[in-house]
């Protein structure tokens, strides 16, 4: 099972999402956090473990964006942007689930 293309695409998508969120935070007058999540990174060559960890990451991201959506209902433009990210995260959850 060749997972490199999948993980490369996920990394690129995550970078794009981070840029969009940073822009939204600045638009609201905030300062974007530049520190990564404190969740331990699991290093392994076992593809089953990789996919299990990826699924946890994607589920956590989707839940986070879902929570944000409930906070920004009054800003239609920002809501639409974050909603698109949320949908992409849900799609990623489905993709990882299928790979498992």
Q: Residue for token digits 């839940």?
A: 63
Question: Residue 36: inside a domain, yes or no?
Answer: no
Q: What is the pLDDT of residue 36?
A: 76
Token output for 96: 């990882």
Question: Residue 84: inside a domain, yes or no?
Answer: yes
pTM of this structure: 0.82
Token output for 81: 């942007």
Give the tens place of pLDDT for each residue, 3-46: 889 899 999 999 898 888 888 888 888 888 877 778 888 899 89
pLDDT grade for 1, boundaries at 50, 70 and 90: low
Domain that holds residue 55: 4-30+41-99
Question: Residue 75: inside a domain, yes or no?
Answer: yes
In degrees, to the nearest 5, what angle opens at C-alpha 66 toward C-alphas 81 and 31? 60
Q: What is the pLDDT of residue 66?
A: 94
Question: Residue 35: inside a domain, yes or no?
Answer: no
Give the tens place of pLDDT for each residue, 42-82: 899 899 999 999 999 999 999 999 998 998 888 898 899 99
Question: Residue 20: inside a domain, yes or no?
Answer: yes
Question: Residue 74: inside a domain, yes or no?
Answer: yes
Question: Residue 68: inside a domain, yes or no?
Answer: yes
Q: What is the count of structural domains for the chain?
A: 1
């Amino acid at each position: 099972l060749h997972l490199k293309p999948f993980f490369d695409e996920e990394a690129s998508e995550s970078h794009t999402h981070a840029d969009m969120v940073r822009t939204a935070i600045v638009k609201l007058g905030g300062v974007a956090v530049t520190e990564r999540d404190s969740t331990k990174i699991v290093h392994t060559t076992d593809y089953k473990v990789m996919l299990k960890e990826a699924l946890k990451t994607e589920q956590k991201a989707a839940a986070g964006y879902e929570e944000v959506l409930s906070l920004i209902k009054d800003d239609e433009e920002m809501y639409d942007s974050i909603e698109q990210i949320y949908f992409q995260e849900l799609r990623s959850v489905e993709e990882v689930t299928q790979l498992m």
